[in-house]
Amino acid sequence: MILLLTRNFAKNIPDLINQQIGTLEKNQQRIEQTVRAEMTAGRSESNLSAKLTREEVGVAFKNLSDSLLASLVDKAREQQSTLAAIQQFLGSNLTEIANADKNRFEAFANETGNMLHSHYKNTIQVIGEMAAQHKGLLDTFSRQLTELTQMNEHKLEQMRTTVEQKLASLQEDNSNKLEQMRATVDEKLNQTLEKRLGESFKMVSERLEQVHKGLGEMQSLASGVGDLKKVLTNVKTRGTLGEIQLDNILEQTLSPEQYQRNVSVRQGSSERVDFAVVLPGKDDDAQQVWLPIDSKFPMEDYQKLLEAQEMGDSGTAAEAAKMLENRVRGEAKSIQDKYLNPPHTTDFAIMFLPVEGLFAEVLRRTGLWETLQRDYHVIVTGPTTITALLNSLQMGFRTLAIQKRSSEVWSLLGTVKTEFVKFGEVLDKTQKKLQEASNTIDSARTRSRAIERKLRTVEAIPASEPSQLAGEMDAVVSE
């Protein structure tokens, strides 16, 4: 049994060696392929890449050789120990087998060493050739790089010389142009400065003259203000000022026939209202109705109120406001007694205050405006509100005129209706006459065709037969 195992093991040793040789050949082929690939790639790389490739290939070969030698040594030692153990176990019968195996292993080791040495030499030779090629490429690249560097330095030197020349020329041109510009600017600056100074002095003179004129105007205005103050302090003149303002508003808003000045609204009374707006009666034949408008300007009480408010004296301001309220009530009572006379007038009148501040103060008094309207039938207005009121009256006038015109239009439409019926009758008669004329024209057209049929055979009219032709035509017409 042991002998059989020994023989089987001895038979398997060549197979193992063949397997190792096949593995080595495959590794060698792989190494050759790797070397070829590295050689192909190394031709296009730099000197540094070739150096790294040589180092990597050398290390790879060295590692491979070391690993193969170590593996073979380990295998040999392992087999020697195994054979020694078998020899000790079997005795002297296995000495020849052991010697044969030893010889085979030694021959295999020698052959493998020779093969590895040969491959190593080939690899070293290939690497040397690659190094030589890379060195040639590197030398060529270095030479071309040196030539390119020299060429670039030469071109840069030429460019530097050209740029220096251009810069020198440009600096000279710029200096000349700057000198020209400086001279031009100095000249223009002097001209502009002289012109501006002249204009400035002229403007200052004109402004001083204007200031002098303004001072004269201020003096005139001061005298005018004094005159205005005199006017406002005079009760009669102040009332006239309010009437003038009210007259201007009425003139701008209404037509001249829609209002009158200084109207007596009470028969047998000498009191005359400043202005009265003409309102139409209820019917077309009714007498016209007057809307009284009177201008009031309680300047003293309003001025006291303003002075108290400016001084911040609330007590005096309240007293002045009370006096102003009583004054306005008195004026409203006076308007009611003098100018309200229904049905000759409306049942209300209008009090015009020519100053907006005065009107605003009246409105600010709580319940005053409503009291004047309710108790005295007087509506208080200012310059703005009376314009709106007059515009509303103007719209009322227009509405009334439209109503009157509407009745006239209806009457006119009735007349047109009657005339249109008559016109229809005339059209019927005209149609009959036209029908008779059409029948007559048709009869004449028929006779004309008969005459044409008679004349178709006539080629010419002899001058000696006009009487005969006339007789025939009379006969045709009679037919």
- What is the DSSP code string of 404-462? HHHHHHHHHHHHHHHHHHHHHHHHHHHHHHHHHHHHHHHHHHHHHHHHHHHHTT-----
Residue 231's pLDDT band (cuts 50, 70, 90): very low
State both tokens at 428.
Answer: 């019927």
State both tokens at 154.
Answer: 């030469």
Separation of alpha carbons 445 and 220, rounded Å: 100
In 3D, which of 362, 355, 310 has the Cα closest to residue 332? 362
Q: At what angle do helices 235-253 and 383-455 cross, to 10 degrees?
A: 20
User: What separation, in Å, do the N-terminal and C-terminal C-alpha atoms of the chain show?
Assistant: 172
Separation of alpha carbons 309 and 318, rounded Å: 9
Identify the residue whose tokens are 């207005």.
381
Q: Judge whether 284 and 400 are in contact, CB under 8 Å.
A: no
Q: Would you list the domain boundaries of the chain? A: 2-162, 238-405
pLDDT digits (tens, 9 = 90+) for 1-38: 544 544 554 556 556 666 766 676 676 677 667 766 66
For position 5, what pLDDT does the model report? 47
Concatenated DSSP letters for 377-391?
-EEEE-HHHHHHHHH
Of residues 166 and 109, more confidently modeled: 166
> Residues 426-451: what's their mean pLDDT?
78
Residues 185-208 as b or e (16 or more Cβ within 10 Å = b): eeeeeeeeeeeeeeeeeeeeeeee
> Residues 43-54: what's their mean pLDDT?
63
Q: What is the largest distance, in Å, between two alpha-carbon atoms of the chain?
A: 190
Three-point CA angle 411, 413, 414, nearest 5°? 65
pLDDT digits (tens, 9 = 90+) for 279-292: 876 555 556 788 88
Strand pairing of 378-381 and 349-352? parallel
Kindly list the distances between the CA atom of residue 25 and the CA atoms of 33, 115, 447, in Å, as whole numbers in the listed order.
12, 10, 142
For position 114, what pLDDT does the model report? 81
User: Burial level of 471, CB count in 10 A (0-12/13-18/19+)?
Assistant: exposed
State both tokens at 135.
Answer: 């060195």
Which of 196-200, 339-343, 374-378, 416-420 has the weakest average pLDDT? 416-420
For position 230, what pLDDT does the model report? 47
Separation of alpha carbons 368 and 372, rounded Å: 6
Q: Cis ω on the peptide bond leading into residue 466 (within 30° of 0)? A: no
pLDDT digits (tens, 9 = 90+) for 309-327: 888 878 888 888 888 888 8
For position 228, what pLDDT does the model report? 46
What mean pLDDT value characterizes the chain?
A: 74
Residue 237's pLDDT band (cuts 50, 70, 90): very low
State both tokens at 43.
Answer: 């031709």
For position 431, what pLDDT does the model report? 77
Identify the residue whose tokens are 């193992």.
16
Query: Quick check: pTM over 0.85?
Result: no
State both tokens at 234.
Answer: 């005079």
Q: Judge whether 354 and 298 are in contact, CB under 8 Å.
A: no
Strand order in the sheet with 349-352: 259-263, 273-279, 289-295, 349-352, 378-381
Examine the pLDDT at 82 and tell me if it is beyond 70: yes
% of the chain beyond a pLDDT of 90 = 0
Amino acid identity, residue 263? V
Separation of alpha carbons 346 and 378, rounded Å: 11
